[in-house]
Amino acid sequence: MKISYRREFKHNYLIVDPEELCWQGYESQMLSRNPVEGTLRFQIRQMDDGVRFYYEITSKQPLSRILGNRSIRAEEIRKLVTGIFGVLERMEVYLLREEIILLDPQYVYVDPDSFRIWLCLVPGLGQAFPEGFGKLLEYLLGSVDHQDKESVVLAYGLYQETRKENYGLEDLGRLLYRGNGEDREETRSWDKPRQEEAKDYEGKIDEGKEGEGASLLALRNGEDRSECRQKSRNAGKMENSEKGSKKEGRWKARWNQWKGKFVPEPDKEEESIPVRVPWEMMFRPEEGENGSPKAVAETACAGQGTALLADFTENNEQRMLRALDPDGTDIHLSYYPFIIGKQENLVDFILDRDTVSRLHLRIDRDGDKYQIKDLNSTNGTLLCGRLLENNEQAELNTGDEVCIARYRYRFE
């Protein structure tokens, strides 16, 4: 399976080449005709060299990019996990397998403001959901704010739960709203809604019997037969309508009852849970040249135990994007990677313009060379007059003109 990106006018797409996946059949047809809420919009396109899956990702950002600039908070973890569970519920309605969910952080898309998620469903994919979900939680554990006790305890607790054999959604749900002080076993049981539906169904049967008896009684009392038949038909239509709406809203009722338990009561304090988190689970170490993990800095200060985050002594020449428009502002590139956009707290320079995306572009440095990368922006990034593809990275040279949406700059 190969993954690429493409820009078409004002739309950005993630493209999947299924290659050897057995994608033909029910899943591909169902996804193309029935968009599932919480998933990327899916299209099948026939190319000269085969079939491609197109997913609409305009104005959406991958989880890995969002968490590459900041930590994740406890409430965002709850939204992310409950969002995934909600998609699982809706997939069940369409008889779709959970194995087709691509849970790699690069392909889990979120809204930076609300942390609403969109999952990528790939027909024919056979990824084991428990394993993929466990890896996603391990990634989140390495992205939490280590000074935030609630985030650390929640992320580590969820990760530890996924390492157990045959863990269930109920077990993860209990951890998400732990401390609510409610009867968790009773309120979080997935069987309870089904039991209530069974009782409702039995009551409807009893009501049907009563309606049938009333019709017979009306006949005995001499009512007009055609009028009785009409009443019976109307009652049948109402019953069918109720059954249809009941079936249609069954998953919604279960989900609403389930997800409502994640909101903690405001006046109750969070239960203190002592958890020992192994230090190696709190960081995602990089691999050195010899294959061993390396720290943030290559060396530590002589005689001190503090590692240097960066070496500021060499090549202090500061680059900039000089504004070419009269009302523009120069952008000084004081460090790298440097992200430009209009999303406060996620970018290094806020370019607050209507046509600029929240995360528009990123500039990186590798030695004496510089690269510019479009971050799936809506209106695009032009480099020397050429429109970059979404997520395309290109070399940036001194004197190159960069157009962010329609605002012009020169790299100096």
Beta 109-110 vs 286-287: how paired, if at all? Answer: unpaired
Q: Give the range of the structural domain holding residue 38, as residue numbers without chain letter.
A: 1-54
Question: Does residue 358 fall inside a structural domain?
Answer: yes
pLDDT (0 to 100) of residue 241: 52
User: CB burial class (10 A; 0-12, 13-18, 19+) of residue 246?
Assistant: middle
pLDDT(282) > 70 = no
Shortest CA distance to 168 belongs to which of 184, 189, 153, 182? 189
38 and 131 together in one domain: no
Same domain, 324 and 405: yes
The full length of the chain comes to 412
pLDDT digits (tens, 9 = 90+) for 266-275: 444 444 444 4
Question: Same domain for 66 and 152?
Answer: yes
From the list 54, 1, 2, 5, the residue with the least C-alpha distance to 393 is 5
- Domain tally, the chain: 3
Among 145, 174, 203, residue at a domain's last position: 174
DSSP 7-36: EETTEEEEEEE-TT---TTHHHHHHHHSPP
pLDDT of 331 strictly over 90:
yes
In a domain, 198, yes or no: no
Please give the Cα distance from 375 to 292 (Å, whole number). 31
Question: Do residues 49 and 64 both lie within one domain?
Answer: no
Q: Is residue 286 one of the residues assigned to a domain?
A: no
Mean pLDDT of 4-29: 86
Q: Within this chain, do residues 121 and 138 fall inside the same structural domain, yes or no?
A: yes
- State yes or no: cis peptide before 337, omega within 30 of 0: yes
Tokens 């530890």 sit at which residue?
160
Per-residue confidence band for 339, with pLDDT thresholds at 50, 70 and 90: very high
Instruction: Give domain status of residue 134, yes or no.
Output: yes
- Tell me whether residue 345 is in a domain: yes
Please give the pLDDT value at position 101.
Answer: 95
Threshold 0.75, pTM exceeds = no
- CB-CB neighbours of 112 under 10 Å: 21
Whether 36 contacts 90, CB under 8 Å: yes
pLDDT, residue 40, reads: 95
Same domain, 66 and 151: yes
pLDDT average, residue stretch 3-20? 88
Provide the pLDDT confidence category of residue 161 given band limits of 50, 70 and 90. confident
Query: Does residue 180 fall inside a structural domain?
Result: no
- Which comes out higher in pLDDT, residue 149 or 203? 149
The pLDDT score that the predictor gives to residue 294 is 42
Among 118, 147, 174, residue at a domain's last position: 174
Do 48 and 140 belong together in one domain?
A: no
Asked, for residue 350, whether it belongs to a domain, the answer is yes
Residue 41 predicted with pLDDT over 80: yes
How far does CA 206 lie from the centroid of its chain? 45
Q: Which of 174, 198, 217 is the last residue of a domain?
A: 174
Average pLDDT score, the chain? 75
| pLDDT over threshold 60, residue 335 | yes
CATH number of domain containing 405: 2.60.200.20
What's the pLDDT band for 9 if we cut at 50, 70, 90?
Answer: confident
The answer to the question of residue 282 being in a domain is no
Is the model's pLDDT at 94 over the cut of 80? Answer: yes
Do 337 and 361 share a structural domain? Answer: yes
Please give the pLDDT value at position 21.
Answer: 79
Q: Assess whether 86 and 155 both reside in one domain.
A: yes
Instruction: Give the other-Cβ count within 10 Å of 74's Cβ.
Output: 19
CB 12: neighbour CB atoms within 10 A? 24
| Gyration radius from the chain CA atoms | 28
Q: Are residues 383 and 404 in the same domain?
A: yes
78 and 9 within one domain: no
End-to-end CA gap in the chain: 40
pLDDT value at residue 181:
44
For the stretch 185-229, pLDDT in tens is 433 433 444 444 444 444 544 444 444 444 434 434 444 444 544
Cα 238 from Cα 236, distance rounded (Å): 5
Long-range contacts of 4-9 (CB under 8 A, 24+ apart): 5/57, 5/376, 5/389, 5/390, 5/391, 5/392, 6/389, 6/390, 7/380, 7/387, 7/389, 7/390
- Predicted confidence (pLDDT) at residue 30 exceeds the cutoff of 70: yes
Are 76 and 47 contained in the same domain? no
